[in-house]
Amino acid sequence: MTPFQERCVERSGLGAILGKVLAGERLSAADGMTLYVHPDLLAVGTLANEVRERRHGGVAYYIINQHINHTNICVAGCKFCAFYRTARQSDAYVLSVEDVERRMREHLDKPIREIHMVGGVNPELPLGYYQDVIRAMKRVRPDVHVKAFTIVEIAAMAENFAMTPEDVMRRLQEAGLGSIPGGGAEILTDHAHQVLFRGKIDHRAWIEIAKTAHRLGLRTNATMMYGHVETLEERLDHMRLLREAQDETGGFMAFIPLAFHPENTRLSHLPRPSAADELRNLAVGRLMLDNFAHIKAYWIMMTPRVAQAGLHFGADDLDGTVVTEEIYHRAGSTSPQMIGVPEMIGLIEEAGRTPVERDSLYNPVGAAAALPPSGPRAVSPSPVKPIAAREMAPQA
């Protein structure tokens, strides 16, 4: 942070939090509330950017991945969801193992490193289906990392198959499961659970299963879907629970704040969070979750350009290239379904950051793997270059 930025943050009234940030002290829930309601969003972003650059320098991560949603049949009945169907609806579907293989083969020309698969809570699917799908993925691409099935889906499998979540995860791990995506956390409070997603596990079970996954060696992510019925206190409670669990296990990789998309849901009367809300939630996440290495600006939700701005509000990761995504597109997302690697790199470079291709566990890969392996400042922050200036640079 430059002395000028420090003075600006102090003058905005955030001097006490700045002091804690510079001393590496943990922020309290009251600090979190100040960050949420403070009128100077840029000052909040400057604080988050300081922590982000201390951890990651100028690096911004991305992954070449493919999303597959294996079924939209779901019995949970969440009010915020535009994706789910009942088994009787005409557009309900379950992908067969062969369908999943076909979807992967359609993209064999791309160097995809990760399959991200999630779907509805579909009680008709046997354990063998999930195991066969994972094995099929490994058949098509032996080196692919399978990040699949949310903690909610795992809890439902455990109930349906009369197994413990631990045994379900062990069986999926044996089949080739590599990690668990962060979905299904929504807002980890009783109030949000009662109002929005009574058909799914509550926050106690979600946290417990996440910690069990970590103990089995499965890394997980954690989302927070905000901008519906929750209060700011509930968002901060959500972050406190994640931070406490992370203190115990260290197994979370990334925090992913997801702005609620109301279109085609039972909450379609609600307004959609603004781009400013999206940037603020990235920043508050970065500052409150001091033990999370990565904050993801999920471009497919935020649009590529808001996610790009997020790289200066605490985010260090844009997720992946994503081939066909249904959950947000059914709820009104206007982002494209996919961006190519050159576009992803361009998006990061335009923001003045250094693109680093990663694997699912945040190891640099490809050309980035050749970078010197030292501390978080290994790649120094690149200066923000105006696009026009770069385009006008003299040709060698």
Task: State the Cα–Cα distance between residues 93 and 87, nearest whole angstrom.
Answer: 8
C-alpha angle with apex 390: 387 to 395, nearest 5 degrees?
155
CB of 321 to ligand V47, least distance (A): 13
Q: Distance (Å, rounded) from C-alpha 150 to C-alpha 76?
A: 13
**Residue 61 engages ligand V47 in binding (rule: CB under 6 A):** no
Find the part of the chain contacting ligand V47 (CB under 6 A) among 125-133, 199-207, 241-249, 255-263: 255-263
Burial class of residue 66 in the structure, from the number of CB atoms within 10 Å of its CB (0-12 exposed, 13-18 middle, 19+ buried)? buried
Tell which positions 292-321 bind ligand V47, by CB under 6 A: 298, 319
246 lies in the site for ligand V47, by CB under 6 A: no
Per-position b or e across 168-195, b if 16+ CB within 10 A of its CB = bbebbbebbbbbbbbbbbbbbbeebbeb
Judged by CB under 6 A, the chain residues 334 through 393 that form the site for ligand V47 are: none
Provide, rounded to whole angstroms, the least separation between the CB of residue 102 and ligand V47: 23
Position 82 contacts ligand V47 (CB under 6 A) = yes
287-305 as b/e: b if 16+ CB within 10 A: bbbbebbbbbbbbbbbbbe
Judge contact between 230 and 260, C-beta under 8 A.
no
Total interface residues for ligand V47 by CB under 6 A: 22
Binding residue (CB under 6 A) for ligand V47 from 36, 252, 260, 313: 260
Cα 191 to the center of its chain, rounded Å:
23
**Among the listed residues 258, 297, 315, 351, the single contact to ligand V47 using CB under 6 A:** 258
Residue number with the smallest Cβ distance to ligand V47: 183
Q: Could you say which DSSP state residue 73 is in?
A: B
Select the residue interacting with ligand V47 from 265, 281, 335, 354 (CB under 6 A): 265
3-state secondary structure of 186: coil
Binding residue for ligand V47 (CB under 6 A) from 133, 331, 339, 347?
331
Q: Does 221 bind ligand V47 (CB under 6 A)?
A: yes
Contact residues for ligand V47 (CB under 6 A)?
Answer: 80-82, 118, 150, 181-184, 186, 221, 223, 225, 256, 258, 260-261, 265, 298, 319, 327, 331
